[in-house]
Amino acid sequence: MFIGEVVGNVWGQYKHPVLDGKKLLLVRPIDPMTEKPVGEAVMAVDGGFGAGPGSIVLVLDEGGSARGILCAKDAPVRTVICGIVDKASVGGRDKHYA
Amino acid sequence: MRPARILGRVFSTRQVPTLEGKRLLLIQPVSWEDGKERGDPIVAADACGSGSSEFVYWVAARDAAFAFPDQPPVDASVVGIIEGHQAGDFREHVHR
């Protein structure tokens, strides 16, 4: 799993039936303490936690568990938003996110 | 899941039986944020009826096989057509 910031969204009519009605968000991995980007943005399926642009989220990048979260045992997905980050703590310093 | 531009199609007559009837596409992976090419073109199976020069998103590895009910031996599948997306500065990129 990694921590990322939601930086956008994706829309389109034609997609795999499993993705119908799912929110598709772009997430850029960040360093939780400095909020600096540490990689390239990926598209993630919203796991139903109400994440939107600007949210700091916990992202799962593994297919088997992603299918478990979406309750779809044959979904061609790999990256899913599985939580919203409230706080990160490194070396005794806390970083709070609204 | 990452975006790509479809370059063309790939045809094959002698192939694994479960690949029969699957449309194979040659796709160029690109970046969500600047639209620039990322890596070399790859061959992906089509699961959403996409066609030439369309902007699509695709899944890699084991998860690509789940795009089809019979789980063929593919390592990349196109699972959706991108009509538009927003990234970074929330400007709109409309592709269709």
Domain housing A20: 2-87
The CA-based dihedral angle spanning residues B2, B92, B55, A84, taken in that order and rounded to the nearest 10 degrees: 20
User: How far, rounded to the nearest angstrom, does the alpha carbon of residue A62 sit from its chain's CA centroid?
Assistant: 12
Beta bridge partners of A27: A6, A42
With a cut of 60, say whether residue B96 has pLDDT above it.
Answer: no
Residue A8: phi and psi, rounded to 5, are 170, -175
Tell me whether residue A82 is in a domain.
yes
DSSP B25-84: EEEEEB-TTT--B-S--EEEEESS---TT-EEEEEEGGGGGGGSTT--S-SEEEEEE-SE
Per the CB < 8 A criterion, the answer to whether A75 and B66 are in contact is: yes
Residues 10-29 of chain A with CB under 8 A from chain B are 10-16, 19, 24, 26, 28
3-class secondary structure, B8: strand
With a cut of 80, say whether residue A98 has pLDDT above it.
Answer: no
pTM for the predicted model, two decimal places: 0.81
Question: For chain B, which residues make up each domain, given as ranges?
Answer: 2-94
Tell me whether residue A63 is in a domain.
yes
Q: Which residue of B6, B86, B93 is the best one to mutate when testing the A interface, meaning the one whose CB has the most A CBs within 10 A?
A: B86
Tell me whether residue A97 is in a domain.
no
What interface predicted TM-score (ipTM) does this complex get? 0.74
Q: How many residues does chain A have?
A: 98
DSSP state of A17: G
> For B62-90, what is the mean pLDDT?
87
| Average model confidence (pLDDT) across chain A | 89
Q: Which residue of B85, B91, B92, B93 is the best one to mutate when testing the A interface, meaning the one whose CB has the most A CBs within 10 A?
A: B85
User: How far, rounded to the nearest angstrom, does the alpha carbon of residue B12 sit from its chain's CA centroid?
Assistant: 18
Tell me whether residue A8 is in a domain.
yes
Q: Say which CATH class B2-94 falls into.
A: mainly beta
**Tokens matching residue B54:** 């369309």
Query: Is A8's CB within 8 Å of B32's CB?
Result: yes
How many folded domains does chain A comprise?
1
Categorize the per-residue pLDDT at B42 as very low, low, confident or very high, splitting at 50, 70 and 90.
very high
CATH number of the domain within which A10 lies:
2.40.50.220
